[in-house]
A and B are shown apart, each in its own frame.
Chain A
Amino acid sequence: MKKFVMVSAILLLCSASRAQDSTATQVSGGNSSGVSAQETRMRTLEEQVRSLAEEVAVLRGELKAVRDAKSAQPASDPRILLTAAHVEPGMLPANPTPIAASALPDPAPGAPQVAQTQTFGGATSNAKLLNPDISLIGDFIGNAGHNAVSPSPSMQLHETEVGMQAIIDPYSRADAFISFGETGVNVEEGYITFTSLPAGLLLKVGKMRAEFGKVNTIHNHALPWIDRPLVTNNLVGGEDGINDAGMSLSHFIPAPKGWFMEGTAQVYRGDSDDVFRAYRRQDLSVVGHVRAYRDLSESTNLDLGVSYTRGNSAGLITAPNPSAFFTNIYAGDATLRWKPLRRAIYKNLLFRTELFWSARDQLSPLNIFQTQHAFGLYASADYRLNRRWTVGGRFDRSGQAANANLTDTGFSGILTYWPSEFSQIRGQYRFGHLALTNPGDFSLANEFLFQFLFVMGAHGAHPF
């Protein structure tokens, strides 16, 4: 509205000044005599009409832009929400700077004036809505083949994740991801991030995926595989992973030249899937993570991390004193990336490995306190062949948290096709050598998984 008033004001002012000018010309014309004087007058008037017409064209264009923006605001079509990406507080009120810019002298007098496209950043301030960025990601998974240990359905809409992300105020932003699965609705993450704290601190409060290694922080749809590694399922809580309500504080750590280091400390309620369980209110769990990153060259970089988490072991309701049973998990991760900048969208290579050591206090079958020490790892590689195709492989090996003598092994081959940035088709062959409860017994799994992913709306970028 403000802008509309402003434009009308400019129009009025403009016509008033023109009227004054023309009276002045008339007076001067009256003073002189003869045909030539009249001709001059006519010419002056013609010029004035021309310049007025030009001005009207420019103003009409601006008016149209303003109107377009206005009419776009109450739009009910959900697709128009695309334009709402990244609402920036403080940018919505009409800013005087674009007008100052438009008043700049035209550096090229010969350039044609196209009134319709004469927009000086108006779109940024007007076309944005105060709605959050809304996205929906559909994750359809199919499965064929044999797996006696953990069979999955032939076809399922595994997860539908709705994301809402917005800047809350000048000091914070918030992200919420709600996933609708086959078994119900789950707030996968929902947290506020305080971005403007003093002393370089970054605080997150809410429910979130813990900063424990790499794969634990990644949403299903952003994984380079259809499933999660065996070690995630055996030691770190499976698909949901270590994901709990709590607080997280991060800070950059002074590092040797060329290195970037960051430390994160997190406190959670202590309920994470089948890993941690808070039997009492004070049974909190903690997570610590240190990341070290270095650019080896413009196209190659190394990303290292160590993580630690501790909480009360889950699944001990029958124990007399479950709060005395702890699970400690230590982890290390290493990632090597290669991506030549000139061909970044066609070629890249990523190696990643993560190692996990789990020490779980539990009751033995004979009801005696015991600690199981299990180790697991995965190692994977992904290579982008061209703009649309990526091949990858993953090796898995992991003990089981509650019985470290049982070890599962597996490997996968993955092929991914991207029709565009917003959809993805993936196939994965998975072989598993899966331990059964009797020592020495195992079951072989041979499966083919396929996945279709689609993204609607504006989904915020994922951290590197």
Chain B
Amino acid sequence: MHRCSFGVRLTAVFATLAFVTALLGPPGTRAASKIQIMTATTDLASLAQEVGGDKVEVESIARGYQDPHFVDAKPSFLLKLKRADLLIVVGLELEIGWLPPLINQSTNPKIQVGAPGYFDASRFAKILEIPTGQVTRAEGDVHPLGNPHYWLDPENGLRIAKGIADKLGQMRPDDAAYFAQRYADFEQHLKQADQRWLAEMKPYEGRKIVTYHRSWPNFAEHFHLNVVGYVEPRPGIPPSPQHTVELIRQMKQENVKVIVVEPYFDLKTPNAIARETGAQVLVLPPSVGGEKEITDYFKLFDYDISKLKQAFDAAH
């Protein structure tokens, strides 16, 4: 009796295991010609597409109008991650709230942290606002490794693209020349575009702005804007009345006329501040895909710069 019940149970266990194993099927026979790339954000997807050309297939997990700190780790992403040859992440703990479980559950050894297919773009970029000394959450949701919104500097875009091109070249040595050429073209185009953007922004050098979140330090540094305050009292902490009052006072004193808000933040407080100070609320996407027409990395700067110019001009 004892033996029998145990046997039955063990059989059930193995039957279940066998069932699962039977479902494995043969390994996927996908079109091996293209490198499958998954990226955490749309900006990285755009850069990967620039250097990868038609030899890669790229998809981003987060959308451009979504707060990249808070993305749901939906299981539907697991299927895509399972097929990926390369996973490109922003790093600096931007995705800490959602990407690690996705990577773990993807059952894809190629993209595990530290594996050759895991590409941390922050390691190629110039990082700002690295906290020194003691780091505590009294400062809000601080990123101890530095500000992760570094892609908003075209120079960083170039550095990351170079890193991706080298990585792709290592993965497909036969196509290394192709990726190198794509990078060279991208570099040339981006440098030209950057000259144009810098020229367009030149008249507004040193302009003071207020932003909702600390998403813009690299952008501000590159285009010589001066971010003097934030709608959030601390990163990740929603606006508080005292801080808003203080910000209004500061904006009046320093004559700040533009409040930049990322598309995923509520406009109530920014609008209230704008009414008090006569400033303009400007919804500015920090990522590719933040608006329909922003289809690539170039258009992101085109869009943001033209919007900023309009806002600065209107302020006069």
Interface positions of A (Cβ within 8 A of B): 68, 77, 79-80, 82-83, 85-86, 88-91, 95, 97-98, 100-101, 104, 106-108, 110-111, 114, 117-121, 123-125, 127, 167, 170-171, 173, 193, 195-197, 199-202, 249-254, 260, 262-263, 265, 267, 280, 282-284, 286, 288, 291, 293-295, 298, 301, 303, 310, 321, 323-324, 326, 337, 339, 341-346, 386-388, 420-422, 458, 460-464
Contacts and interface: CB of A to CB of B under 8 A. Distances in A.
Contacts of B98: 461
A286 B126 contact: no
Contacts of A170: 112, 114-115
Interface stretch (B43-51, B159-167, B273-281): B159-167
9 contacts: A77-B134, A86-B96, A107-B155, A107-B194, A120-B124, A202-B107, A250-B107, A342-B65, A346-B266
Given A110-B198, A464-B75, A193 B104 contact: yes
Given A104-B158, A199-B24, A251-B24, A123 B13 contact: no
A455 to B, nearest CB: 9
Given A123-B145, A286-B13, 6 more contacts: A97-B124, A117-B130, A124-B145, A298-B63, A321-B2, A344-B264
Given A97-B163, A345-B67, A124 B100 contact: no
B163 to A, nearest CB: 7
Contact of A295 (B74, B91, B140, B266): B74
Interface stretch (B3-11, B33-41, B241-249, B300-308): B3-11
B92 A124 contact: yes
Given A104-B158, A121-B125, A421-B236, A291 B75 contact: yes
B114 A265 contact: no
B314 interface: no
Nearest to A260: B75
With a 10 A CB-CB cut-off, give which of A68, A251, A461 has the most chain B CB atoms: A461
Contacts of B154: 107-108
B194 A108 contact: yes
A462 B93 CA distance: 15
A325 to B, nearest CB: 10
Interface string B182-224: 0000010011001000100000000000000000000001100
Interface of B: 1-2, 5-6, 9-10, 12-13, 16-17, 19-21, 23-25, 27, 63, 65-67, 70, 72-76, 78-79, 82, 91-93, 96-101, 103-105, 107-109, 112-115, 118, 120, 122-130, 132, 134-137, 140-141, 144-146, 154-155, 158-159, 162-163, 166, 187, 190-191, 194, 198, 221-222, 236-238, 263-264, 266
Contacts of A342: 65-66, 263-264
A132 to B, nearest CB: 13
A202 B112 CA distance: 13
Given A121-B124, A263-B19, A461-B73, A283 B6 contact: yes
Nearest to A202: B107
Contact of B24 (A200, A284, A298, A461): A200
Contacts of A125: 123
Contacts of B93: 85-86
A288 B16 contact: yes
A167 B104 CA distance: 10
